[in-house]
Amino acid sequence: MTASRHARRRLLALALVPAALPLLSGCFSSGVSTGAATPGDERISVAMLQPPRSGLSPLSDDAFKLSRWSTAETLVVLDPDGTPEPALATGWERVDDTTWRFEVRSGVTFHNGDALTAASVVNSLQHAIDASPRPRILNGVDMTVTADGDAVVVTTAVADPLLPNRLSSPQLAILDDDAYSDTGVSPVGTGTGPFELTAVDGIVGATLDRYDGYWGDTALAAGIDVRFVPDGTARAAALRTGDADIVEAVPAGQAATVDDELLHEVAMPRTNTLYLNAESGPFADPAVRAAARAAIDRAAIVSSVYEGRADIAAGLLGPALPWAAAYRSEPGYTEVLAARPAPAAVSGIPITLGTFTDRAELPEVAVILEQQLEAAGFVVQQDVREYQFIEADALDGKFDAFILSRATVLDSGDPVAYLASDFTCTGGFSISQLCVPAVDDAISAAAKTDAGTDRQRATMAAEARVLATDAAVPLLHERVIQGESATVVDAARDPRERLLVTAKTHLAD
Using alpha carbons only, give the angle 497, 502, 507 rounded to the nearest 5 degrees: 115
* Mean pLDDT (whole number) for 421-429: 92
Q: Pick the most confident of 27-31, 136-140, 489-493.
A: 489-493
The answer to whether 468 and 337 have CB atoms below 8 angstroms apart is: yes
75-88 average pLDDT score: 92
For 11: left if phi > 0, alpha if psi spans -120 to 50, otherwise beta; the answer is alpha
- CA-CA distance, 208 to 72, in Å (whole number)? 12
DSSP H helical ranges for 79-210: 118-130, 163-166
Residue 24 has pLDDT above 70, yes or no: no
The pLDDT tens digits of the residues spanning 444-492 come to 999 999 888 999 999 999 999 999 999 999 999 999 999 999 999 999 9
State pTM to two decimals. Answer: 0.80
Q: pLDDT per residue over 35-64, tens digit each?
A: 444 447 899 999 998 888 888 999 988 999
* CA count, 13 A, side-chain hemisphere, 37: 0
Diameter of the chain by CA atoms?
79
User: In sequence order, what are the beta bridge partners of 225?
Assistant: 45, 207
Give Cβ neighbours of residue 250 (< 8 Å, ≥ 6 apart). Answer: 232, 235, 236, 239, 258, 263, 481, 482, 483
Provide DSSP, 55-105.
Answer: TT-TTSTTHHHHHHTT-SB-SEEE-TTS-EEESSEEEEEEEETTEEEEEEP
The pLDDT > 70 percentage for the chain reads 92
Instruction: Compute the distance between CA of residue 176 and CA of residue 183 in angstroms, rounded to an integer.
Output: 16
pLDDT value for 417 = 87
- What are the E-state strand segments in 395-438? 401-407
Q: Which of 499, 324, 345, 315 is nearest to 423 (CA)?
A: 315
pLDDT of 18 > 80? The answer is no
91 exposure class (CB count in 10 Å sphere: 0-12, 13-18, 19+): exposed
Specify the range with the lowest mean pLDDT, choosing from 201-215, 248-262, 483-497. 248-262
What pLDDT is recorded for position 12? 37
Q: How far apart are CA 225 and CA 280, in angstroms?
A: 53
Determine the residue type at 38: T
Residue 362 pLDDT exceeds 70: yes
What local confidence, expressed as pLDDT, does residue 11 receive? 37
For 300, the enclosing helix (H) or strand (E) is helix 298-305
CA angle 312, 314, 315 (to 5 degrees): 120
pLDDT digits (tens, 9 = 90+) for 56-70: 999 988 999 999 999
Sequence-ordered list of residues with C-beta below 8 angstroms from that of 140, at least 6 positions apart, any chain: none
Could you give all domains of the chain from N- to C-terminal order, each with its CATH number?
A: 3-245+485-507 (3.40.190.10), 267-479 (3.10.105.10)
Helix, strand, coil content of the chain in percent (nearest 5): 30, 25, 45
Does pLDDT of 14 surpass 80? no
C-alpha 308: how far from chain center: 22
Helix, strand, or coil (residue 487): coil
Half-sphere exposure of 257 (CA within 13 A, CB side): 15
Q: What are the pLDDT digits (tens) for 347-358?
A: 999 999 999 998
User: CB–CB of 160/98 below 8 Å?
Assistant: yes
158-191 pLDDT, tens per residue? 999 999 999 999 999 999 999 999 889 999 999 9
Mean pLDDT for the stretch of residues 230-252:
92
User: What whole-number distance in Å separates Cα of residue 192 and Cα of residue 111?
Assistant: 6
Confidence tier at 17 by pLDDT (50, 70, 90): very low
Is the pLDDT at 31 greater than 60, yes or no? no
Confidence of residue 316 (pLDDT cuts 50, 70, 90): very high
pLDDT of amino acid 358: 83
Q: What integer pLDDT is reported at residue 300 of this predicted model?
A: 97
Q: In what order do the strands lie in the sheet with 151-156?
A: 89-96, 99-104, 151-156, 143-148
* pLDDT tier for residue 428 given thresholds of 50, 70 and 90: confident
Count of CA atoms in the C-beta half-sphere (13 A) of 218: 9
Pairing assessment for the beta strands 349-356 and 401-407 based on DSSP bridges: parallel
What's the average model confidence in pLDDT over 246-255? 89
CB neighbour list of residue 218: distance below 8 Å, 6 or more residues apart = 194, 210, 212, 503
